[in-house]
Amino acid sequence: RVAALFSVRVSQARVALWPERGGRAFKTIVNTFGVIRGSQFPDEMVIVGGHRDAWGPGAADNVSGGVSILEAAEAWGAALKAGHRPLRTIVFATWDAEEWGLVGSTEWVELMRDTLSANAVAYLNQDVAASGRAFGGGGTASLAAFLRDATHGIRQPGDTGSIYRDWAQRTVTTQRPLPPVGDLGGGSDFAGFYNMLGLPSIEFGFGGPGGVYHSAYDSYTWMERFGDPGYLSHVAAGQLSSVILSRLANAAVVPLDHGM
């Protein structure tokens, strides 16, 4: 009788899997683009991109990256309406089917190979731009000093100092005098630009403890409560994206520093 009082009814879940073959196995994917044409060097392109697809809700991976791109696009749209056109062309891209193997961005890079090789100045990738408060970045060695410099002018989320100050306090040691800018490696949409064409590329984001990667828990609720309460890191990511695009698009000489 006691056991009956504490008995638990167990529900059963059934999961069915089936393959799709032939024509049904092919899916249509869509990349999207917004373009602001440059005033003096219209053929030279600065590109920012991130993927729209996700495993699950994708609040961090990669709604946060998409938000950063859209925030930068909105800022540049306002600047354009006020009469401030960049010297170089800026391309705002969102890629489809990244989670299936970088398909959307790779197809576009292959299609545009000759144009990109001749005219692309740099590519900024936005993948998991905000899932915490700890800033980090990676990229081409020639853009490491540029990325560090850009973080001086943006406020650290939840603090009064700069992103750079917080980044340096967490990472600088006697053996490492500057905040680290790592290698991009692989696994995101910079691969076509960086690994295939050798174009200068960078990526950054605000990270944290995580634990929800590629799961159903990468949700609005998790982001609001744990990942980025108040969406302060989202704001900072959008601001930093805007600054990076502005400096790359308007510099008389592209700020590449091979001394790191």
* Active site residue ranges: 98
Cα–Cα distance list, 100 to 4, 215, 240 (Å): 49, 15, 28
Q: Give CA–CA dist 260/254, Å, rounded.
A: 15
b/e map 194-222, b = 16+ CB within 10 Å? bbebebbbbbbbbbeeeebeeeeebbeeb
Beta-sheet strands, E only, within 79-216: 88-95, 120-125, 134-139, 181-182, 201-207
Instruction: Give every CB contact of residue 11 below 8 A, 6+ residues apart in sequence.
Output: none
- 3-class SS of residue 175: coil
Tokens of 124: 């900024």
Q: Give CA–CA dist 255/46, Å, rounded.
A: 12
